[in-house]
Structure formats: C-alpha cells, structure tokens
Amino acid sequence: MTTLRNDWTKVEVSNLFALPFMDLIFRAQTIHREFHIPNTVQVSTLLSIKTGACPEDCAYCPQSVRYDTGLESEELLELNTVTQKARAAKDSGATRFCMGAAYRSPKPRDLTKVLAMIKAVKSLGLETCATLGMVSSTQALELKQAGLDYYNHNLDTSAEYYKEIISTRTYQDRLDTLQAVRDAGMNVCCGGIVGMGEQAEDRVGLLYTLATLPEHPQSVPINQLVRVAGTPLADAAALDPFDFVRMVAVARILMPRAHVRLSAGRAEMSDELQALCFLAGANSIFYGEKLLTTGNPDTAEDQKLFERLQIAAEPLATAARHASAA
C-alpha cells in the first residue's frame, strides 16, 4: 500500500530519476493502478479567452508583449462565444473546460466577466478551470463562489533556475497564488515546463517543490517546451523524449492521487511517445486543435490513438470523485 507523502527529500527525488528506465516505468504504473482506473484518461479542453499583450517576460511565451512572435492580440471573448466553445468541447468528449487569459493579474472589471463565464460553463455540467495569472485571496474566493473547480498556476521550473526564465514575478509570487487557491477551497492545477535549457537537478527541484507543498496539486501538467520564433527560447535544444517520460513517471510516484497531464508540446510527440507517457502514469490530456496559442492534436487524432491503445475517456463523475478524494 503506497503512503501519500509530503516529506520527500531532494535526494529521494533524484534517486527516482536515476532508476533504470524500465524499473521506473514499472514502479510508476504499479502506483498508478493503485490510485486510478487503468486505461482511462481525463479529457480537458483549453480556450484562450484573452490572447496576447501580456506584460510578463516569460522566455517561452508567445503572448508576451515584449517579443515579436507575430501573434495578434485579442480582447476578452464575449460570454456567448465562450459558452458555445464549452458546449462544443463537451460534445467532443471533454469533461473539463479550461479558460486561459494572458494577464499578470486580472483587473476587477475583467474578473467580473470571467466570473460570468465560469457560471455559464458550470451550468453545462462541465468541470471548470481557469488560468488568469496571479490572484489574491479575495479574487480566489470570488472564483470559488462562481463555481470554479480548478485554478491553474504553474511553477514552470525549479526555484534555482526560475530567474533564467522570468524576471517580472518571483517564485514566491507563484507560491502565494497557490496558497490563495488552496485557502479558497479550490483544486490546484500546477506543473511545469521541461526543455527550457534546465539541468537534471532543476527537474528534480520542480517536482520536489510540487510534492512537498502542503497538499499535492490535484492536476499536474507536464509541458514540453514549444519553441516559438521570436521568443528567447526559440532555439533551445530539443529534449530527449525519454527525459520527458521520466518526468511523467517521477511525478506519478511522488503525487499518486494527482492527474498527471500531457499538456503543451503534445503536437510534436509521436503516438509511441504518448503511449509511453500513459504507461508512465499520465492520465490526463488537453483535447482539441489548439492549446492557447500553439498547436495541439485534433480530437479525431486523439480518438484514433485512444482506440489503438484501448483507452477510454474518464467519466466526469469519476474525475470528480478523484478530486474530492485528493
């Protein structure tokens, strides 16, 4: 019986990464089956409700106003548009609808509009998720009261490497937002990005931080850097696919109840690599043609892959039980 722990040491996490690949995968899959229904994947859809013109300088992000990436900025979408997109996502098999806005922190007038979106999406019978940048305790409570189930706020990388990627907000700023979300009673969606030029110890550091939070995130997105022309990381070296799988497997071992999600970079992954990730304990994906501003496999391709692997989409009721248990 696996014990849930929040007292991992960096040495223990590093030792997991050092396991022979097959041993690591076997251990991760064994733990996965203890806490989750085998051969099921939770399906989310992500919509950019406000695109571009972000004042932050995240080195990976095409939405930063500081970089010339050719991205056209878009104001906050209308409520009817968001509701239509959410309904289409549900019809395609998604059980969670995530709304992303390129804010440093939402202004009160914008938050009021987002709260209406959350209520509308919730009324469709979907789980709701949002990523809006930093939020205060008061804003987190407003989001919770509107019916928001999950709040996404990634740590991106280790505390030590963070300053090489972002200078406009601190690591503690991110941790403070996570605390506000937990205090409001919402589920936390928090992970990071690999392939940004970080070292192996930075991947250890990121997962160590996540696994030693007061409560494990209920969703842990593992993103592979999408190299976008015009951003400082456009020419970053390609990541070894096995290193990505190791990241998934160690996340599964450290945070057994969490949904470990394949997020950005999936469009560049082969079906074989995705299958390895599912074997390593990934059990959540973003579904649809676009992931904020970068490509994502379309729903038809995902459905074909699910059929080939004999994987089923996790029912909403099951996802909700996992969240409440966590």
Write out the catalytic residue numbers: 54, 58, 61, 98, 129, 189, 261
* Cα 320 off chain centre by: 17
Are 293 and 48 in contact by the 8 Å Cβ rule? The answer is yes
Round to whole Å and give the CA distance between 186 and 310.
32
Round to whole Å and give the CA distance between 172 and 155.
10
**Positive or negative torsion for Cα 136, 173, 7, 202:** positive
Burial degree of 108 (CB within 10 A; 0-12, 13-18, 19+): exposed
Are 295 and 267 in contact by the 8 Å Cβ rule? The answer is yes
The one-letter amino acid at 9 = T
Residues 6+ apart with CB under 8 A from 320: 127
For 199-215, give the DSSP string. -HHHHHHHHHHHHTSSS
